[in-house]
Amino acid sequence: MSVDSIQQRSGAVTFKGKPMTLLGPELRVGSPAPQFDLTAGDLSPVNLDILLDEGKRAALLIAVPSLDTSVCSLESQKFNARLGELPGDVGAAVVSMDLPFAQARWCGAQGEIKLQMLSDYRDRSFGLNYGLLIAELGLLARAIVVVGKDRTIAYVQIVREVADEPDYDAALKAAAAAA
């Protein structure tokens, strides 16, 4: 697939004030959730069906540029600390372009991490299919996506300035409602 055939959304987000281009379609609440192929820490493949456990749970997807940055690390720590606010039938995962080895290193330095770590490094299918790949950086935009058990998009929050944190309360509320 050439970049020319991929939808480009110029200025959709900023990085330190500079406008950036997101590649892929804009997600809409109520639309079917696009498929993706991510990689878990043990290098096994994880797709939407696996994440939703064939419709038995909803998913809170926390897209971050890189766990090796302070805001991404802080965001992931905050979501991890608040996982107890979610019903048991909501799975939560951090998705980044970091290699699974880097994600494991970050987890090891944090203590107990309950969030699932998933990498989009292989084919960028999550970033492209969810419209979150920043063309200029090759990283994911900071975003929250909630997918309901019925495979529809229940909530989308794309953080306008990549260096800012998301609205945690709204994301957790939406994830709980999707259960």
Positions marked catalytic: 72
**What residue type is assigned to position 166 of the chain?**
P
**What residue type is assigned to position 155 of the chain?**
Y
Task: Find the length of the chain.
Answer: 179
List, as one string, the DSSP characters of 51-118. Answer: HTTTTTSEEEEEE-S-TTSHHHHHHHHHHHHTGGGS-TTEEEEEEESS-HHHHHHHHHHHS---SEEE
Distance CA 143, CA 132 (A): 8
The torsion region of residue 16 among left (phi > 0), alpha (psi -120 to 50) and beta comes to left
Token digits for 24? Answer: 């892929």
Residue 124, C-beta contacts closer than 8 angstroms, at least 6 positions apart: 97, 133
